[in-house]
Structure 1
């Protein structure tokens, strides 16, 4: 079981959406990160977002998404799917974000291990994650 989570922020870094889900799959940590990117892209599109700046604390995955690294792995297949999916957006970029700025997304993903259903909160998050989200916002600015 892997947990995937995401946070969508607006241009002033306020919360627009949080989402999480537990997925029953056996995979490497890199593949789990790639699955989380696919999860985020799909939900962002479904929410009507068309311009994205996607951040991940997995540098290897970001390099794969940017096209500067390729490897023979299941993660690469998921990355190719993610890159293909970006064509439906007006704009989509991928950037590395150190874990210190991305603790909330990790916490949301970890908490999703307790449930397999999709949980989406618009302009909100669960109370246990709020202090971390606010801390991440302070670290980003």
Structure 2
């Protein structure tokens, strides 16, 4: 997870290990729940979450109900988002999500660590290039 303000400044960075999820979709859903909870704990009120997992994005937007563990995790998220004054989830391609992708690929190295207003040194260049790329539009 990387949290930025509307100027692109880093507010927080965090990583979580996969929690032994049975599938990639469940790993994404569990990470999403963890990020929503963390954003709430950090006191963020207006949030936009981005995911490169199309299945998670579609499951969230369709708001389908079911008895599977996936639906239980998504319902937990729905309960938590009422805390925020503004909330949205958007889909971005992996190439547009390079910082979060790097953290996910290295989650065992950075697991369960939260950096406030900073990033691990290995991410400095990626964060800078992401901000510059977003300013180009």
Unaligned ranges ≥5, structure 1: 1-5
In structure 2, list runs of 5 or more residues that go unmatched.
none
Q: CA deviation at 1:72?
A: 6.4
Q: Partner residue of 2:129?
A: 135
- The count of aligned residue pairs is 135
Deviations 1:36-85 (A, max 9, x none): 11111111111111111111111221121122666764323211211121
TM-score, normalised via structure 1 length? 0.84
1 CA distance for matches of 2:21 and 2:47?
A: 28
Between the aligned partners of 1:11 and 1:100, the Cα distance in structure 2 is 20
Between Structure 1 and Structure 2, the one with more strand by share is 1
Give the whole-Å Cα distance in 1 for the aligned partners of 2:115 and 2:110. Answer: 15
**What is the RMSD of the two structures over their aligned residues, measured on CA atoms?**
2.0
Helix, strand or coil at the partner of 1:95 = strand
Distance (Å, rounded) in 2 between the aligned partners of 1:34 and 1:81: 10
Please state how far the C-alpha of 1:123 moved relative to its aligned partner: 1.1
Deviation string 1:3-36 (CA, Å, 9 cap, x unpaired) is xxx0001102221110112253232101111111
Normalising by structure 2, what TM-score?
0.86
Looking at structure 2, the residues matched to 53 and 123 of structure 1 have their Cα atoms a distance apart, in angstroms, of: 18
Q: Distance in 2 between matches of 1:106 and 1:72?
A: 30
